[in-house]
Amino acid sequence: MQRWDDARLAERGAWGDFVVRTEGKVEGTMVPLNLPLHEFMAQQQEHRYVVSELPSAMYEDVVVPAAFTCGPFSGHITEVDVWISNGRTRSKFHKDSNNQLNCLIKGRKQWTAIDPTHIRKVPMVWEDEDPALKTAGESLLDPMKMDLHRFPSMMEVPYNRSWLEPGDCIWMPGATLHQVFSDADETGRNMQVSLLFSERSSVLKGIDPEYQPPPAFDPTQGQPCEGGWGPRKLSEFYVAWPYPGQGGTTYGFDCPKKLRIRMADAMQENFGDRGVTHEEFTRLYKFMLRSDFPRRPSEKLFVFEGHQKYIPDALNIIQRREKYSLGSVEEWEKKAVRKNSRIYYPGLREAAVAIAVRALGEWWHHSPLTQDGTLTREELNSVSVKEFQESWAFLYFPVQSIGHAFMGAMERDSVRHEEMLEAQLRSGQDEAKHDEAVGQACSKHEHCAKGYFCSGERVCEPDKECHFHHDAIDKKCPAGATRAPVLNDDEEDL
């Protein structure tokens, strides 16, 4: 990593042209922004810092510590991130889903971690689930000004604090609450590389009553240890989400192994131990894809201006697989409809789901596992992470990201309030239509509104009230007789 000096990072026509993700130096104070690295180095260091996927061209300079070069960890690297600043950066107390190995290159970093068994005493940003059982999230605490009057339970929470120097690495298990503060070295630089692993964490031990420990460490899994343990270059390893340095960033995308586990669990829940057909598996996969989108008509899905970056990013990521391209960002921007501060993308959900299903179909057609027309859970779990990701799972995650972009807009309080008012209005209109239609004089069914019939009493009634054909004026219920259940004496009295 001797080459990672400021001149190299800012060099135009080389590393300086890599596009990196930046945030405010104090987490949460600025909207994330993608910038060319040279622009960050020249103009943005006083306000922002790089927290981004590491461009794969830089993998050659990263050394993976010996303990991680073979065995299961080596085969499950989800992504590799880089952190670059001039110091004085500060994160919130937060937790991340993946296990992380964080290695400091320049400067110093202070890490404060809280044992997960104390999480219920820590004030967390409220969400729908018990924060102790969530693998990600952030705290309400101000790390620079702990308010023990407001949060007295924090006096009972122990913590661990560590200072990292260049060459030090710290292992942070997934779902562990932590906070980081950085300081620059004498050259004014702080730099870190993080390897994110997908292995299930054990942080729910002592929290979840249904906790099951992960399998024992097996050094024969993943990368074989044929050459013995020893440091190796990152470029020699498979990374599920490598970043080419241009186009959308997959920062925060989950590991394909977890999707494979979800699919296998869903197969067990819906079909038991038997093999499933292509049609059944496709239906299950399509349901999972659609579950990541709001349940709204396609033309009503929108994101807010200034928060649409996840959709262009997802489109660019999908373009890495040329034969599955959804089209360019520019093409979808032309189709987009802008109203006030909202951007609508009609048809995007259907197109995204269709292309993901198509990739699954092509894998199914060519895989030796499905030649008998079915796939079992055991066969699915036997597919390597690399094959699973490179065939069809790759497309699930950017499609999911598009859905979550829409979901984020729908979950705003203002949008929820608006939907509630619309529902109340529709309910009132339906009641008004009902009041207007019921009791209207008629001599045949055509005189009544849709959904109503002309009764023997020559007034319009809802179709569901035509229990027997002789209830209708012509002795025939237009929507079919809806025989009412026979009540016993007690129910009759009620």
| Beta carbons of 89 and 183 less than 8 angstroms apart | no
Q: Are residues 52 and 200 in the same domain?
A: yes
Q: Are residues 48 and 165 in the same domain?
A: yes
Q: Are residues 239 and 320 in the same domain?
A: no
Residue 99 lies in a domain: yes
Domain ranges, residue 460: 433-493
The beta strands (E) that lie in 316-373 are given as 337-339, 342-344
Q: Are residues 30 and 129 in the same domain?
A: yes
Q: Which pair of tokens denotes residue 110?
A: 């202070």
204 phi, psi to nearest 5 deg: -85, 0
Q: Are residues 169 and 190 in the same domain?
A: yes
Q: Which pair of tokens denotes residue 348?
A: 């995007």
Residuewise pLDDT in 10s, the chain (494 residues): 678 999 999 999 999 999 999 999 999 888 888 899 999 999 888 999 999 999 999 999 999 998 888 777 777 789 999 999 999 999 999 988 888 999 999 999 999 999 888 888 999 886 556 666 667 788 999 988 889 999 999 999 999 999 999 999 999 988 899 999 999 999 999 999 999 987 655 566 666 677 777 666 666 666 666 667 788 899 998 899 999 999 888 877 888 888 898 899 999 989 999 999 999 999 999 999 998 998 888 888 999 887 777 899 899 999 888 788 888 899 999 999 999 889 999 999 999 999 999 999 999 999 999 999 999 999 999 998 889 999 999 999 999 999 999 988 887 777 777 777 776 776 666 666 666 777 788 888 998 888 888 988 788 888 888 877 777 888 888 888 765 443 333 333 32
Residue 162 lies in a domain: yes
* Whole-prediction pTM: 0.76
Sign of CA dihedral 273, 277, 281, 287: negative
Query: Rounded distance, CA 35 to CA 140, Å?
Result: 29
Strands 337-339 and 190-197: unpaired
Q: Are residues 137 and 101 in the same domain?
A: yes
Residue 392 lies in a domain: yes
Q: Are residues 189 and 298 in the same domain?
A: no
Q: Are residues 129 and 274 in the same domain?
A: no
CA distances 344 to 56, 293, 316, 483, Å, are: 34, 14, 18, 45
Residue 423 lies in a domain: no
431: Cβ–Cβ under 8 A, 6 or more apart, which residues? none
Q: Are residues 243 and 377 in the same domain?
A: no
Query: Closest by alpha carbon to 211, among 220, 219, 200?
Result: 200
Residue 355 lies in a domain: yes
> Structural domain tally of the chain?
3
Coil vs helix vs strand at 446:
helix
Examine the fold and report which residue of 411, 446, 475 is the final residue of a domain before the chain moves on: 411
Q: Are residues 231 and 307 in the same domain?
A: no
Query: Rounded distance, CA 416 to CA 406, Å?
Result: 13
Q: Are residues 83 and 48 in the same domain?
A: yes
